[in-house]
């Protein structure tokens, strides 16, 4: 029997609706496999935590995460957190950095039943998580964005060989596992950022030498952005620095139905965190109409990662059942949320996925 300890951090707004649905889907999938046991650990985070304890990310949560195999983090609505309270922090960059979650894996897939700009899209963007221009995670202390005068703002970008190589390796391993083109595309702008992007490309090329069965290419980010819109079917696995990847993954989601169809998994050497790409959508919170697809698939990716890490075939099959279940629900389009032109609630769509899993 394989035992896993998985944390549940519901987050803010629609997180309180979609995270429980994602957990129920995982529970349905593993119920078919007695050799898989999950210990679910609820942990406080976000505004619900702040209202109870005065902290959006309590030390108890941080300490407990070190004892887990992975966790599910719901969307965070940090823009409304009190700006003058040092205990009202944005949790997700702190969690990504503290637990060395270097690679952010964001798949983009089209479904024939869902109207989109393109069909036959099946690609993955692997974005570096903890460096780049993001000032809240590229320094040990202090901020990497500052104003020496009232009329000048400076932003520092950090690129390291270590994180660039880790992201590249994540991408090459994904390309090897997928049934697609067996190709990795590294995104850069070394025509301008000769040192930063130059180092990223160099680190990717070093890793590419270990994967002779995978085609490796590089693309300048602006040209790639155009090609992604025009011919997304040309790509398989894309690896990128932080800011470029953040932008390109939203662009890719727009090709196949929007951010409700954009799951994500953050991985590092030891831990993994399921986290959908979209935000907390406070405008629809409490209405139970949020599309749970991205959160469900993020949780499915976590289960698959854990199963592969432990070479646990039962967990891998359970993750594959979730993929089959969500594909079945989307092929029928009978029980989907309003953003997919349906009338089902968040929970009803989740229940439909559970039924489809049990029928596999």
Instruction: Give the model confidence (pLDDT) of 293-349 as tens digits.
Output: 999 999 999 999 999 999 999 999 999 999 999 999 999 999 999 999 999 999 999
Same structural domain, 278 and 323 = yes
Query: What's the confidence (pLDDT) of residue 355?
Result: 98
pLDDT score for 63: 98
Tell me: do 68 and 162 sit in the same domain: no
Here the tokens at position 30 are 């593993």
First-to-last C-alpha distance (Å) of the chain: 22
Work out the angle between the directed axes of helices 293-309 and 313-332 (0-180°, nearest 10). Answer: 160
Task: Tell me how many domains the chain contains.
Answer: 2
Give the list of residues 6+ apart from residue 172 with CB closer than 8 angstroms, or none. Answer: 184, 207, 208, 210, 211, 214, 237
Q: 142 and 74 share a domain?
A: no
pLDDT tens column, 255-272: 998 889 999 999 999 999
Q: How many helices (H) and strands (E) does the chain have?
A: 11, 12
Q: Give the three-class secondary structure for 360.
A: coil
Domain that holds residue 289: 1-105+262-360
Residue tagged 């209202």 (tokens)? 51
CA distance 126 to 148: 34
Q: Is residue 110 part of a domain?
A: no
Domain match, 134 and 251 both:
yes
In 10 A of CB 143, how many CB atoms? 11
Boundary residue ending a domain (230, 255, 280): 255
240 and 289 both lie in a single domain: no
The answer to whether residues 218 and 126 belong to one domain is yes
Rounded to 5°, the CA angle 339-343-345 comes to: 85
Would 198 be classed as within a structural domain? yes
3-state secondary structure of 339: helix
Q: Which of 255, 272, 293 is the last residue of a domain?
A: 255
Q: Rounded to whole angstroms, what are the CA distances from 235 to 104, 122, 229, 256?
A: 18, 8, 11, 14
Residue 202: Cβ within 10 Å count: 15
Q: Which of 255, 273, 288 is the last residue of a domain?
A: 255
Residue 203 lies in a domain: yes
Q: Do 86 and 177 share a domain, yes or no? A: no
CB 281 within 8 A of CB 297: no
295/284 Cα distance (integer angstroms): 16
Q: Indicate the SS3 state at residue 149.
A: strand
Residues 123 and 233 in one domain: yes
- Using CA atoms, how far residue 338 sits from 10, 30, 292, in Å, is 22, 29, 11
Q: Is residue 65 domain-shared with residue 164, that is, in the same domain?
A: no
Helix (H) / strand (E) containing 152: strand 152-155
Buried b / exposed e across 232-251, counting CB within 10 Å, b at 16+? beebbbbbbbbbbbbebbee
Rg (CA), the chain: 20
Do 189 and 73 lie in one domain? The reply is: no
Q: What's the pLDDT score for residue 342?
A: 95
- Is residue 124 domain-shared with residue 247, that is, in the same domain? yes
User: What pLDDT does 1 receive?
Assistant: 59
Q: Is residue 337 domain-resident?
A: yes
Query: Which helix (H) or strand (E) covers residue 251, if one does?
Result: helix 242-255
Q: SS3 for 96?
A: helix
- Helix (H) / strand (E) containing 73: strand 70-73
Which pLDDT score is estimated for 139? 82
CATH code for the domain in which residue 143 is found: 3.40.718.10
Secondary structure of residue 200 in the 3-state scheme: helix
Contact assessment for residue 124 and residue 108, using Cβ atoms and an 8 Å cutoff: yes
- Distance, CA of 28 to CA of 222 (rounded, Å): 43
pLDDT at 134: 85
Instruction: State the pLDDT at residue 180.
Output: 81
Q: What are phi and psi of 57, to 5 degrees?
A: -140, 85
Query: Is residue 112, in this structure, part of any structural domain at all?
Result: no
CB–CB of 39/29 below 8 Å?
Answer: no
CA pair distance 15, 211, nearest whole angstrom: 39
Residue 157 covered by a domain: yes
| DSSP 8-state code for residue 178 | S
Query: In this structure, are 129 and 98 located in the same domain?
Result: no
Please identify every stretch of the chain with a pLDDT value under 50, giving residue numbers as ranges: none
Asked, for residue 54, whether it belongs to a domain, the answer is yes
Domain membership flag for residue 310: yes
């Amino acid at each position: 029997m394989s035992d896993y300890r998985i944390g549940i951090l519901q987050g803010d707004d629609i997180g309180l609706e979609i995270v429980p649905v994602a957990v129920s889907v995982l529970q349905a999938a593993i119920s078919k496999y007695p050799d898989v046991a999950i210990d679910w650990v609820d942990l406080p985070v976000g505004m619900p935590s702040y209202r109870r304890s005065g902290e959006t990310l309590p030390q108890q949560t941080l300490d407990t995460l070190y004892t887990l195999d992975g966790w599910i983090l719901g969307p965070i609505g940090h823009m409304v957190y009190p700006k003058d309270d040092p205990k009202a922090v944005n949790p997700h960059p702190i969690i990504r950095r503290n637990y060395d979650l270097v690679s952010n894996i964001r798949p983009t897939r089209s479904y024939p039943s869902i109207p989109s700009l393109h069909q036959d899209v099946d690609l993955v963007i692997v974005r570096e998580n903890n460096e780049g221009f993001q000032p809240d995670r590229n320094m040990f202390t202090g901020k990497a964005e500052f104003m020496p005068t009232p009329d000048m703002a400076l932003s520092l970008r950090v690129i390291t060989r270590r994180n660039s190589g880790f992201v590249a390796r994540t991408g090459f391993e994904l390309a090897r596992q997928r049934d697609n083109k067996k190709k990795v595309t590294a995104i850069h702008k070394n025509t301008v950022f000769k040192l930063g992007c130059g180092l990223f490309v160099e680190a990717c090329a070093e890793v590419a030498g270990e994967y002779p069965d995978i085609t490796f290419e590089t693309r300048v980010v602006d040209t790639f952005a155009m090609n992604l819109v025009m011919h997304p079917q040309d790509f398989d696995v894309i690896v990128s620095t932080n800011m470029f990847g953040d932008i390109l993954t939203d662009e890719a989601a727009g090709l196949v139905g929007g951010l409700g169809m954009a799951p994500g998994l953050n991985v590092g050497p030891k831990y993994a965190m399921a986290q959908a790409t979209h935000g907390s959508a406070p405008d629809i919170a409490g209405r139970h109409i949020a599309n749970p697809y991205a959160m469900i698939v993020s949780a499915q990716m976590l289960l698959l990662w854990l199963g592969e890490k432990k070479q646990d075939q039962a967990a891998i099959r359970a993750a594959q059942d979730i993929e089959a279940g969500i594909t079945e629900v989307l092929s029928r389009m009978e029980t989907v949320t309003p953003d997919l032109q349906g009338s089902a609630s968040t929970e009803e769509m989740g229940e439909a996925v559970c039924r489809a899993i049990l029928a596999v």
